[in-house]
Amino acid sequence: MLDEKCIFCRIIKGEIPSAKVYEDDWMCVFKDVEPKAKVHLLAVPKTHFKLIEEAGEDGMEMLSYMLTKIPAIARENGCENGYRLIINQGEDAGQTVFHLHIHILGGEKLGDL
């Protein structure tokens, strides 16, 4: 289920352009528009939910599927020597887009947070 007001749902639907590097029936991966590392991708499930606790059984299955796909996607996009995954959960964490997403950061030696 997608939300017509959500920017990531609109990217998934192709209404807003993005630099997609991977897509299948369950997930979409595109470049972050304001990269915080040499490689900065966002892995986004093709169902709209804001937080892990809102994912439900289907969402958790989707997240688990995404985690199985991310290593190869990261490797193929310049993260051969490792990468960092981040999920910002809520305002204190700095979440700005309220459609759950996994940041994939790498392509260089990352510093501390």
Site residues, ligand AMP (CB under 6 A): 7, 16, 18, 30, 32-34, 42, 88, 94-97
Backbone angles phi, psi at 107, to 5 degrees: 85, 0
Residues carrying an active site annotation: 101
Token digits of residue 98: 């309220």
Tell me 29's DSSP state: E
Following CA atoms 74, 50, 45, 63 in sequence, which dihedral angle do they give, to the nearest 10 degrees?
70
Q: Between 33 and 113, whose beta carbon lies closer to ligand AMP?
A: 33
Residue 62 Cβ vs ligand AMP, minimum distance, rounded to whole Å:
18
Q: How far is the CB of 8 from ligand AMP (least distance, A)?
A: 8
